[in-house]
Amino acid sequence: MVDSSGKQPVQLGSFWQPGSSAVMSLRFTLFITLSVLVHAGALLWPQSTMPPLRIGGEAQVLRVSIAAMPASPEPVVKPVQANVSHPPALRQLVQKSALVVPLHTEAPRNIEAALASQQTPHVSNTQPRSVSSPEQSAPDVGRKISVALRNHLSSHFVYPWLARQRGWEGRVLLSLTVMGNGDLGDWKVAQTSGYQTLDRSALQAAQRIGHLPQAAAWLNGKSLEVQVPVQYHLLDS
């Protein structure tokens, strides 16, 4: 039978065949089961599986990695460096005497050695000198010898160039023996300044004296051991 549009109507009865009901029921059951599984999988799938955001047609993926914390480095011990001052080349070299004794023999010099012995009471200039007088005490003789040594040592004293360049200062205590005839001997460093250069310079300057003629009249044939401090000090000009 053909309708007015010219198409032949579909007859439902033509698709029905014996046994087709069981097949349709099985297909429907499978369809429902697959649909449930697909929806359940979509709900349970982790959010991290979502595709990365695409910018400009390419996927932009952010990767974050946690690096292991580096072990704290051991502290580096810096060597302690001594602050050595470098004084200017032109400096006035002044040696301070540990013994305050008025000098009447000559004016002070720019470079002088500080010589000292035990402090003694002031001797009046009116006291008469006596070469053969045995009453002179050892401190009095020591003071006179110290003054004489100071005058002689100032002409031989040298401040080492290396010590001046590096700013080395210190006090050297020298020990010597004055013989009864005025000869000087047994020079040695009783106390160091901390610098061998200064110790050696002071000892060499003292050994250049050799003889102290005045001491023969003061000692009356006796020998005397004397300690002489030599002070090295730099002053800016």
Q: What residue spans define the domains of the chain? A: 93-119+135-236
Give the pair of three-digit tokens for residue 101.
Answer: 């004794």
* pLDDT at residue 93 is higher than 60: no
* 196, pLDDT greater than 80: yes
- State pLDDT tens for residues 126-139: 444 544 445 566 77
The angle at the Cα of 189, spanning 218 to 96, to the nearest 5 degrees, equals: 70
Threshold 0.85, pTM exceeds = no
3-state secondary structure of 45: coil
Q: Which of 24-28, 166-170, 194-198, 219-223 is least confident?
A: 24-28
Under 8 Å between Cβ of 226 and 145: yes
Q: What is the pLDDT of residue 165?
A: 93
What is the structure's pLDDT at 150?
80
With 50 as the cut, is the pLDDT of residue 172 above it? yes
Mean pLDDT, rounded, of the chain: 65
Average pLDDT on 102-126 reads 43
Q: Measure the CA–CA gap between 66 and 141, rounded to whole angstroms.
A: 88
Task: Tell me which of 36 and 168 has the higher pLDDT.
Answer: 168
DSSP per residue, 49-109:
GSPPPEETTEE-------PPPPPPPPPP-PPP--------S-EEE----SS-----SS---
| Residue range 25-48, pLDDT digits in tens | 667 677 777 776 766 665 655 554
Residue range 93-119+135-236 in CATH 3.20.20.70: no
Q: Which residue has the tokens 């023996």?
A: 177
Check pLDDT > 90 for residue 161: yes
Read out DSSP for 197-231?
Answer: HHHHHHHHHHHTT-B-THHHHHHTT--EEEEEEEE
Q: What is the mean pLDDT of residues 5-21?
A: 51
Residue 121 has pLDDT above 90, yes or no: no
Q: Say whether pLDDT at 198 is over 50.
A: yes
